[in-house]
Amino acid sequence: MKVGFIGLGIMGKPMAAHILKAGNSLTVYNRSRPSVEELAKLGAAVGRDPAHVAEACDIIITMLPDSPDVKEVVLGERGLIHGLSPGTTLIDMSSIHPLAAQQIAQKLKAKGVHMLDAPVSGGEIGAIEATLAIMVGGEEEVFERCLPLLKTMGKSVHRVGEIGAGNTVKLMNQMIVAINLAAVAEAFAFGKKAGIDPASAYEAIKGGLAGSRVMDTKINNIRDEQYTPGFRVKLHAKDLRNVVTMAEETGAKLEFSDRVLELFHDLSKQGFSEEDHSSLHRLFPVGKAAK
């Protein structure tokens, strides 16, 4: 299978590496060169631009920060649309607004090109370990054809509806993660203030109803107050802005997601937008523990 991959960031690079290791022919493109060179050493071909990648491949995967980035790579000058042939498939694994996914799919359909929107959850660890949860929107026949490829990157791969549904479910995921993360950050700050050791508290809590993948993944960041990015504050804020926008469009009621978005905005104003989203813990200052 001839696969193209565009967007070799924190998550995209290991995802692309798994595709290559599974025995697929891979052509990559990224604006910054180090990741491209690293994958080239593993056997990947290097595309000159998105259109060139599209010309060389049957399936192209994009993993980009936001809706405008995907639109530019797919529809812009020397974008994928200029190289894609009828019958080829774009799998956009970025987390974008569902409406943007639908708009892009309509443009591609006019050229006879298929599209899946397939955002992921699991962060850098999930990308490295190929254990991502992948939420897919699009035609069932296209999904089934692409499923073996998706399984090289993810442990849980589910079609959830037509195009745009993947990103809608991803927004649901991001709401749950954000609210859970805020609860973990607040609770462990509360415990620290009372003199409780975070590691001991985690061991006591993790097996009960409060246990969660969020807590398992982020406890070391919170315990050590080190926030090297696995998923950046600015990206989670982007997702929650899409939640708010979609809620306004559909009339859905929000009580908590918009409040956590405010917390992410507070972190960004303080200069922490590039940190891991677990840096929400910064907003619950501990100071000297009580005696």
170 is catalytic: yes
State the catalytic residue, choosing from 109, 111, 170, 291: 170
Which sign does the torsion angle of CA 230, 215, 207, 188 carry? positive
Structure-block tokens of residue 144 = 């089934």
Q: Which of 153, 177, 141 is nearest to 63 (CA)?
A: 153
Q: Which of 134, 85, 136 is nearest to 114 (CA)?
A: 85
Give Rg (Cα) of the chain: 20
The residues that are catalytic are: 170
